[in-house]
Amino acid sequence: MSRVHDALRRAETGGMPAEPPPAAAKEVRAPEARPAAIAVQPARATPEHGPLVEASVVAYQPAPESHLLDLNNSHETPAEEFRTLRTRLNHLQTLQPLHTVIVTSASPAEGKTFVAVNLALAQAQLAESAVLLGDFDLRRPVVHNLFQVDRAPGLSDYLSGKCRFSEALRRVEGANLYIMPAGSAVKNPLELLNTRQCRALFEELPRHFNWAVFDTPPLLFSADANLLSTLADGTVLVVKIGSTTFDNVSRAMQSLCENNVLGIVANGARASELYSKYTYYYSKSE
C-alpha cells in the first residue's frame, strides 16, 4: 500500500461534490429473527435487465442537488470517471469472486455516499444483470432522500424479520437498479448488523445481483463498516482531496487490516483537472 500512501500525501494539498448532509434518525432495538428467503420472479427475464427480483417500482426522481449523474450524457466528465471506476471493478471481478462491495471513508463528509450511489448507477447502465444499492449506514441514512423514496420498509426491517426481502426493495423504473433503503431506525445498528441474518444476506445476494454496492458509516466513527468489510467481497475507501488527512487514512486502513481493500477513490478533484483529460478527445471527435 506504499504507493497509495505516497499518492495520498501528494493529494492532501489539493471538484466533485461531497455527499449531501444526511438527516439524523431515532433508533429502536431489533429482535433476533430468521429472515424470509429472497424471492425471484420465475420466467420473467428480459433482454434489457435479465432476471427481475421482486420489488415495487419507483420513478427515477433524484432530489435537487443530489448530484446523481446523467450517465447517458457521454460528455459529462464525472460520469466518465465513474465509468472508469466501473471498468476497473469489472476487471477485478474476472480475477476473483467480487459481487458485494462496501463504500466507506475515514471521516464524515468525504463523499462516500456520492461515490456509492453513482457507482451503482454506472454499473446499472450495463444490461448484463441486476445491481443493488443498499444503505447500510443505519446511523445517518441518506440514500432514500437522494432518490425521494420511503425510508421504510428497508434493510433494518428485513433483518429484524418485520418484512419480506421484496418489500425492502425498490426498483428504479426503466433501469436495472434496485434500492434498499436503511429502513426503520434501530437502537443499536451494530448489533443488528452482527447477526446471522445479515451474514446470510451477504451470502445470498450474489445469487440475484451481479453487483451489490453498500453505503456504510465512516470507519473512524463507528465499528459498523469494519464489521461489514469482513462480510463483503471488497472495500472501497473514499478520501477527499485537501480535506482527508494522511493520518486518518492510515488509521482507517489499519482498522481494516488492509483486508479486501480494492482501492481508494479520490473525491473533490478540481473541475479543470478532470475536463482537461477529455476536452481534446471530444473536440477532435466532433
Domain boundaries, the chain: 2-17+26-60+69-285
Mean pLDDT of 147-157: 96
Query: Can you read off the three cell numbers belonging to residue 150?
Result: 420511503
Confirm if 83 and 71 have CB atoms less than 8 A apart: yes
Report the alpha-carbon distance of residue 204 to residue 37 in Å, rounded.
Answer: 9
Grid cell digits, residue 243: 480535506
Residue 41: which of 24, 56, 62 has the closest Cα? Answer: 56
pLDDT at 7 over 80: no
Q: Is the pLDDT of residue 225 over 90?
A: yes
Among 41-50, 137-146, 195-204, 253-262, name the one with the lowest average pLDDT: 41-50
What is the pLDDT of the chain when averaged over all its residues?
A: 80
Is the pLDDT assigned to residue 1 strictly greater than 60? no
Contact 218, 106 (CB under 8 A): yes
User: Mapping DSSP to helix (H, G, I), strand (E, B) and coil, where does residue 38 land?
Assistant: coil
Name the pLDDT band for 4 (thresholds 50, 70, 90). very low
Which residues in 213-232 are b (16+ Cβ under 10 Å) and which e? Answer: bbbbbbbbebebbbbbbebb
**What homologous superfamily is domain 2-17+26-60+69-285 in, according to CATH?**
P-loop containing nucleotide triphosphate hydrolases (3.40.50.300)
DSSP string spanning 209-226? -SEEEEE---TTT-SHHH
| Better-scored residue on pLDDT, 267 or 7 | 267
Band of pLDDT at residue 260, cut at 50, 70 and 90: confident
